[in-house]
Amino acid sequence: MAKKDVEALLIAGGEDKHVRAKYDVPGNKEEFIALAAEDGYTFTLEELDEVLKEAGDVFDKYGNPPKRSIWWT
């Protein structure tokens, strides 16, 4: 179930630029997960890493302003 929350968040970010902007702010995965929990998405660091690995996504930020390329469209 928790992997489904990771996937739901990545899809929400792919569909909504405001969600992307909000979740591009955290500096690390722990902050990202804490922010997600505030919005009702419940998952662990291991589950986040597993979904990102399966999708071939990298959590790191790039560009100016810094953004993540993890969002699913």
pTM (whole model) above 0.75:
yes
pLDDT tens per residue, range 11-57: 999 999 999 999 999 999 999 999 999 999 999 999 999 999 999 99
- What would the two tokens of residue 18 be? 């405001």
Q: Count of CB atoms within 10 A of residue 13's CB?
A: 21
pLDDT in tens, 43-52: 999 999 999 9
Query: What is the model's pLDDT at position 73?
Result: 87
Q: With cut-offs at 50, 70 and 90, classify the pLDDT of residue 6.
A: very high
- What pLDDT score was predicted for residue 1? 66
Q: How far apart are CA 7 and CA 60, in angstroms?
A: 18
The residues spanned by each domain of the chain are 2-68
Contact 27, 63 (CB under 8 A): no
